[in-house]
Amino acid sequence: ATPTALLVGSGRAAQLGVVIKGPEVLESTRALDTVVLDKTGTVTTGRMSLDVEHDVHLADPGTPGREGPAPHAPLSIREVLALAGAVEALSEHPVAAAVTEAARTADPEGRAGSSSRLGLVEDFASHEGRGVVGRVEGREVLVGGPRWLSERGLDLADGLRAALESAQDTGATAVVVAVDGRAEAVLAVRDTVRRSSPAAVARLRELGLRPVLLTGDNERAAAHVARVVGIDGPDVHAGVLPADKREVVAALQARGAVVGMVGDGVNDAAALAQAGTRGLGMAMGTGTDVAIEAADITLVRADLEAVVAAVSVSRATLRVIK
Ligand code: ADP
Ligand code: MG
């Protein structure tokens, strides 16, 4: 590979919105045989939303809490959203943005979603890939994935469990709101598959690359997105905690794959860096700084067509050189 050709290739890539850290990245791009795609914010837009009317499912008021009778009077949709929104206002997760926004919609005059005005979120903690917890006006409020809640000893009543599963089947990210140890509601948060994703995944396949979906979200939501973009069941890894995303990439590498990992989140950074050891990491331009720093390529035009462009340019450049 002559330096001139590589420079021309880098320039061509840049025109297509593919910014590479150095000309040698083109060589790793050409060697890829597997593309691991993060779901939220990568295959999907990551702009999550929650409809106050349709996407909030309250627990049956008669259902007891963990220690017997319900620990408090039944909560309304507005109250649940106000409590959840107060805690989520301190989180930067896409789910959090949807919940705080819904809290504001449900109660435009209220203090929801503004932790500063509420001023009362104490003992806040954010658990990567799991959810958030905090004390609001003396109540312990938890918002997070169902598995995390059950790890913390919280059960879902049958009605909520059914709401959770049917929301997940439609591809929603379903999170649970628990107040003082009782699961109060399921929120079905919705995301949109980027319009260009299905065609881009098909193109990657045509170029001989194997697409793999990797997400911390639940299996049903992952399966829904996989179906939409055309990724096969065995290549879908769901419910993967941030620390384990790296392991999934390493396991593929151990089986001989040269992996290009595409991601946007803080939770993808380790996997992006791992991919770079024998392949490369690609960060969405709209992603977090941590992801961009960990990656070898930044996809300025944040969609999967840019991955197709990167592969095509690297092949064209290195074909000319030979
Ligand atoms: P992804 O891999 O899809 O980007 P994450 O690893 O960031 O997902 O999160 C995985 C899951 O953890 C989410 O689907 C959600 O159930 C839960 N979760 C993470 N952060 C939050 C939060 N701030 N509020 C509620 N749930 C959260
Ligand atoms: Mg993501």
pLDDT in tens, 258-300: 999 999 998 999 999 999 999 999 999 999 999 999 999 999 9
297 forms beta bridges with 20, 282
Which ligand approaches the C-alpha of residue 264 most closely?
A: 2
Q: Which residue has the higher pLDDT, 266 or 144?
A: 144
> Is residue 265 domain-resident?
yes
Q: Is 229 left (phi over 0), alpha (psi -120 to 50) or beta?
A: alpha
Any ligand 1 atom below 6 A from CB of 46:
no
Using CA positions, which residue lies closest to atom 27 of ligand 1?
Answer: 131
Rounded-to-integer distance, Cα 245 and Cα 12, Å: 31
Question: Whose CA is closest to 143, among 170, 173, 163, 120?
Answer: 173
Q: 50 exposed, middle or buried (CB, 10 Å; 0-12, 13-18, 19+)?
A: buried
My answer on whether 95 and 178 are in the same domain is yes
Question: Whose CA is closest to 215, among 168, 257, 166, 183?
Answer: 168
Q: Give the lowest-confidence range in 89-93, 117-121, 135-139.
A: 117-121
Distance 245 CA to ligand 2 centre (A): 11
Which ligand approaches the C-alpha of residue 151 most closely?
A: 1
Rounded-to-integer distance, Cα 87 and Cα 81, Å: 10
My answer on whether 233 and 273 are in the same domain is yes
Residues assigned a catalytic role: 38
Q: What pLDDT, on the 0 to 100 scale, is given for residue 116?
A: 43
Number of domains in the chain: 2
Which atom from ligand 1 is nearest to the alpha carbon of 130? 12
Domain range spanning residue 100? Answer: 56-189
Distance 307 CA to ligand 2 centre (A): 16
Q: Which residue has the higher pLDDT, 24 or 79?
A: 79
Q: Which of 217, 224, 264 to mutate to test the pocket of ligand 1 (most atoms within 8 A of CB)?
A: 217
**Per-residue tokens: 161:** 């469990």
Q: What pLDDT, on the 0 to 100 scale, is given for residue 69?
A: 60
> Is residue 51 domain-resident?
no
My answer on whether 14 and 65 are in the same domain is no
Q: HSE of 230 in the Cβ direction (CA atoms, 13 Å)? A: 12
Any ligand 1 atom below 6 A from CB of 217:
yes
**Per-residue tokens: 250:** 């390493």
Report which DSSP code applies to 296: S
What is the helix (H) or strand (E) element at residue 28, kind and residue range? helix 25-31
Q: Is the dihedral angle over the CA atoms 83, 89, 92, 95 positive or is it negative?
A: positive
Contacts of 32 (CB under 8 A, 6+ apart): 209, 258, 259, 260, 279, 280, 311
Rounded-to-integer distance, Cα 273 and Cα 313, Å: 22
Question: Whose CA is closest to 143, among 112, 109, 169?
Answer: 112
Q: Is the dihedral angle over the CA atoms 155, 158, 160, 166 positive or is it negative?
A: positive
Give per-residue pLDDT as tens, 88-114. 999 989 999 999 999 999 988 876 545
My answer on whether 22 and 75 are in the same domain is no
At which of 164, 189, 214 does a domain end?
Answer: 189
Q: What pLDDT, on the 0 to 100 scale, is given for residue 22?
A: 87
Which ligand approaches the C-alpha of residue 134 most closely?
A: 1
Any ligand 1 atom below 6 A from CB of 91:
yes
For the complex shown, is ipTM > 0.90? yes
Using CA positions, which residue lies closest to atom 1 of ligand 1?
Answer: 216
Q: What pLDDT, on the 0 to 100 scale, is given for residue 142?
A: 98
Domain CATH number, residue 249: 3.40.50.1000
Rounded-to-integer distance, Cα 141 and Cα 8, Å: 55
Q: Please give the single-letter amino acid code of residue 69.
A: P
At which of 159, 189, 219 does a domain end?
Answer: 189
> Is residue 103 domain-resident?
yes
